[in-house]
Amino acid sequence: MEEQQRAMEVLRSHLTRVRIPEPSTRIYKQECCISFDSPRSEGGLFVDLNSFTAYGRDYVTWNYQKNGNPVYLNIKEVPKPESDNRPRKKPTLLAIGLEGGFDAKQQDYEEIYSIVILPEFLSLPFPNVDLPEKVRLSVEAVLASVGAERKEQVAAWTADKKKVSPFAHSLPQLDNGVLVPPSGWKCSKCEKTENLWLNLTDGVILCGRRNWDGTGGNNHAVEHFNATNYPLAVKLGTITSDLENADVYSYPEDETVEDPFLAQHLAHFGIDFSSLKKTEMTTAERELDQNVNFDWNRIQENDKHLEPLFGPGYTGLINLGNSCYLASVVQMIFATRDFQLRYYENLNLDDAFQLAPADPTLDLNTQMTKLAHGLLSGKYSAPEKQVSEKDVAEGGTEKLVQNGISPRMFKSLIGAGHPEFATSRQQDALEFFQHLIEQVERSNSANPSEDPSRCFNFVVEEKIMCSASGKVKYTKKIDNVLSLNIPLSAAVNKGEVAIMEKTKAQKLPGEKGGKEDYVRPRVPLSACLESFCASEAVQDFYSSAIRGRTTAIKTAGLATFPEYLVLHMRKFTLEAGWVPKKLDVFIDVPDIVDISYMRSKGLQPGEEVLPETDGSPAADEMIVSKLMEMGFSRNHCEKAAINTSNTGLEPAMNWLLSHLDDPDIDTPLITKTDQNAQPVDEDLVTTLIGFGFHGNLARKALRETNGDVERAAEWIFSHSEEANSADMDISSGSNATGGVDKVLPDGPGKYKLLGFVSHMGTSTQSGHYVVHIRKDGRWVIFNDCKVAVSSDPPKDMGYLYFFQRIHS
């Protein structure tokens, strides 16, 4: 009693340090800002009643010492006794935690609150009638708020809720007398009787798209849209009295949509939906069915007994709902020494917190350090629970599992302001990797030597030789991923594939083959690498040597070799009509690769450089006019032509599409002559040279950033393509490599496979990602929060491969 009285007296003396939050105040109450402690951790979570940031028991003292805030709301969650022994049901929906979806039953917890005053950790229970009014109002506001950490909690495998199609409101329907019977449907252009779609404008019944394995339809429905532009179709066999579950597809929007007028649209063709029965799977249900197919089982190693792993470096990441792309990439980059050193071994949590701004949740350096310590320390990787006694009694094997850590705060920060990564939709792991690397690079721009993202960077050198004059032009750009085409013509089993295709073509309509009959092309990785270096003819190349158009030969190589080589397999391509397709192919990937032969040598003795026409870059007018016909401005088109060295329409288009969001895209084009006329402070140039940059490159960066050194250093890395093409000009020397090369890692071209990210599904915007990493001499699978020894890593099914340099 005396202790509580003393605690109350101390609390009253600190009332000036207590705030009542406004409705707009960001309140953290579910996760520590600098660790992954939660209300369920030992000691619970401490919410600062002044800043409303939260801290675990081991870290709250740091906040007190830094900010001087002594009053905290302590939130503890303790398990309630389990009482539910219901048997698990087989999932029927593509969702987690929803009725009919995957079982996501979790332990129930009871919350216990108290007021704690530092530094002595004096405690008062809450609720408490003796508490000062200001404290009571502050705590009640915290408890009533939705935590700032809270994001989407239901982990859905489907995309976001179906959108209402704008085409549904004014859908034209032809008065052509078509009446659709309640059954007995058949494609009007072939013999298909399954996967049939009713066009809601003219009532024509046609088959759907052909799948990779020959099943599905013959593409007649999509071909009908291409010919007529009739936008909406409904899948026959999915129409029941519950119209919300009917599968309506919008071809212009290229996605499943909601048609709020579906009942009257069906009635137009004499369809009484109330009497129809479900006979076909919807698109989402078909995606659910993929969970048990060959790819998913093999990549996740579902058919094997996997030994779970615990301890430092073996911490899983909880799926927040379509966040497996993030988990796979994060696990992979923290398997590299550069990221381990930068955010774990050379930076402890306390130092990162002291360097952080007032709100550490908005600081990438703090959150990357928090993530590194969460994954690598082993603190959150201890066995947490076992399979229930009931499962063991029924013959199941007792298994230890880990809960993993939730990257919710990190995901919120790294996705802030991004149109895709800020959502809960599935994303492309490649795009996220490059986005994350870009953000890390920016956060380390003031100290480039400490930037761990440099370990992935390398310089690509392209050589263009004019066929008419024999003269050459060299350009360079920095990249962090080597994107490789997959030459199916190089498959080592072309004969078996040809036999399979012939057998499939001879099957009768409606006759299906088993999955064991399907043969995938198997392409060696070496063929993909050789394809990157192969010569390519450039048509209609404008040659300044002959002042006219001719053919040029383009080749590419690497001017530097990165510490970690990332290979992207271009499995996703676009067919006619911009229809995405995933190549169904195996890649034979060895454990060791040697890319020494890919080293570019720069300007060679005897080679003559293509002349500049007037001392300044000039855009090819044909390329500019073609782009302008597509609706782009002249300034944009000229920049695209110049930054791709006038090599053709397609490279210029690709450059423009990838740079439309650049903040300086609308800045008027400045010629090299005009730019070089701008004065530069040579002291600032010397400062950048001290960072390792070439003098000419430093001057260009300073001109682009109005003499701001920090922004200039950032500009060099974030505008590497423009910097290299303009200032890394090697025409004046025989083997000059330019300024940026000197600050990038380089070394031998022999690498060992460190890990690979695999994708399951037909699109990068759906499906599932997992990553396999070589750790401590064995392969380990990281499948969200599941971490286990991999007995048979599917190295031939990777999407991104990460190789580590072998140092002799």
* 3-state secondary structure string across 398-411: CCEECCCECCHHHH
pLDDT score of 47 more than 80: yes
Residue 117 tokens, joined: 């005053």
Buried b (16+ CB within 10 A) or exposed e, 728-741: bbbeeeeebbbbbb
pLDDT at position 582, please? 72
The single-letter DSSP state of residue 572 is: E
Q: What is the mean pLDDT of residues 232-255?
A: 88
Across 79-88, 315-324, 516-525, 555-564, which has the greatest mean pLDDT?
A: 555-564
- Is 187 catalytic? The answer is no
Q: Any idea how long the chain is?
A: 808
Q: What is the pTM of this model?
A: 0.71
User: Which amino acid is located at 535 in the chain?
Assistant: S
Q: Which of 373, 568, 694, 768 is catalytic?
A: 768
Q: What is the mean pLDDT of residues 139-152?
A: 71
pLDDT at position 151, please? 32
The answer to whether 276 and 240 have CB atoms below 8 angstroms apart is yes
Q: Please state whether the peptide bond connecting residue 448 to the residue before it is cis, i.e. omega within 30 degrees of 0.
A: no
Residue 747 tokens, joined: 């070394």
Report how far Cα 253 is from the mean position of its chain's Cα atoms: 22
Residue 645 tokens, joined: 């060295």
User: CA-to-CA distance for 689 and 739, rounded, in angstroms?
Assistant: 9
The single-letter DSSP state of residue 317 is: B
Cross-strand bridge partners of residue 759? 769
**Least confident piece of the model among 198-212, 316-330, 506-520:** 506-520
Across 41-55, 276-290, 512-526, 742-756, which has the greatest mean pLDDT?
A: 41-55
What stretches of 559-677 adopt beta strand conformation (E)?
564-569, 572-575, 579-582, 586-588, 592-594
Report CA dihedral (730, 735, 739, 742) to the nearest 10 degrees.
160
**Least confident piece of the model among 331-335, 346-350, 501-505:** 501-505
Handedness of CA 347, 351, 354, 360 (dihedral sign): positive
User: CA-to-CA distance for 56 and 33, rounded, in angstroms?
Assistant: 8
Burial of 643 (0-12, 13-18, 19+ CB in 10 A): buried
pLDDT score of 593 more than 90: yes
Residue-wise pLDDT tens digits, 116-129: 999 999 999 999 99
Main-chain phi, psi angles of 355, to 5 degrees: -80, -15
Q: What is the mean pLDDT of residues 150-175?
A: 67
User: CA-to-CA distance for 591 and 754, rounded, in angstroms?
Assistant: 8
When the pLDDT of each residue in the chain is averaged and rounded to a whole number, the result is: 83
Q: Which of 32, 33, 187, 324 is catalytic?
A: 324
- Is 637 catalytic? The answer is no
Residue 755 tokens, joined: 């890990």
pLDDT score of 573 more than 50: yes
